[in-house]
Chains A and B, each alone.
Chain A
Amino acid sequence: AQSVTQPDIHITVSEGASLELRCNYSYGATPYLFWYVQSPGQGLQLLLKYFSGDTLVQGIKGFEAEFKRSQSSFNLRKPSVHWSDAAEYFCAVESSGAGSYQLTFGKGTKLSVIP
């Protein structure tokens, strides 16, 4: 069965600093990978996704993620964090192939930003 591990429960960074959130997955086939963000009191919003091709994918709000098959990782990065990025971030893998959209989520990483 597929699984997603986000090893960091809570990360605190200063505004303007760089950010990397870690995600490791376990999945037998070529994974479809996603990062979602959840602001307080809100639902989840898709930041970016990887299906195939270029392993470095760009998303909204200045985020990017890199797929590394050898490490089974899909880490999320941002070069300069803004206070509005404070939220919870979820990595997800699609469970059973294209079109099913049955996502397995990690437990999330809560990001706090210090002014």
Chain B
Amino acid sequence: ETGVTQTPRHLVMGMTNKKSLKCEQHLGHNAMYWYKQSAKKPLELMFVYSLEERVENNSVPSRFSPECPNSSHLFLHLHTLQPEDSALYLCASSRRGQNTGELFFGEGSRLTVL
């Protein structure tokens, strides 16, 4: 079992739909992240949660809404998305406060917006 699990692995949605991506980590970490990976672009950090509080929001449009109900779970709620939002969304976790710099990534959720 991988340490960071993302569901669904693939999602196709229309621009008027509302859907959610889920991430769960089994590593005892206390920080969780959402990254966006688009073709030919560097990975973009979207949100950071530390101890269940949002500590970073990198100018992400409001049609993306994160939720972190506890240190093991992270959601990304999606509504009225645009075709340019089609990408691979990666969840990651880490242990903040320890100088390791290591992020543990899930396998990603491939999102296609029609």
Query: CB within 8 Å of B: which residues of A?
Result: 4, 32, 34, 41-46, 49, 51, 90, 94, 98-99, 101-108
Asked whether B45 is an interface residue with its Cβ less than 8 Å from the other chain, the reply is yes
A103 x B45 contact (CB < 8 A):
yes
- Nearest B-chain residue to A32, judged by Cβ: B101
Contact between A107 and B99 (Cβ–Cβ < 8 Å)? no
B41 partner residues in chain A, CB cutoff 8 A: 107
Q: Which residue of A lies closest to B48 (CB)?
A: A102
**Which chain A residues lie closer than 8 Å to B40 at the CB level?**
107
Check B106–A43 contact: CB distance below 8 A.
yes
- 9 tightest A-B CB contacts, nearest first: A43-B105, A105-B43, A44-B105, A105-B42, A43-B107, A98-B99, A46-B102, A107-B42, A101-B94
Most buried by B among A34, A103, A107: A103
Taking chain B's interface residues, is the majority helix, strand, or loop, or is none over half, making it mixed? loop
Q: A43-B108, A106-B42, A107-B41 are in contact. List 17 more A-B contacts (CB 8 A).
A: A4-B42, A34-B101, A43-B4, A43-B106, A44-B43, A44-B105, A46-B103, A49-B101, A90-B43, A98-B101, A99-B96, A99-B99, A101-B31, A101-B33, A102-B56, A103-B45, A103-B101
Within 8 A of A (CB), among B56-108: 56, 90, 92, 94, 96-103, 105-108
Contact A104 B42 (CB under 8 A): yes
* B4: nearest chain-A partner, CB-CB: A43
Please give me the residue from chain B that is nearest to A34 by CB atom: B101
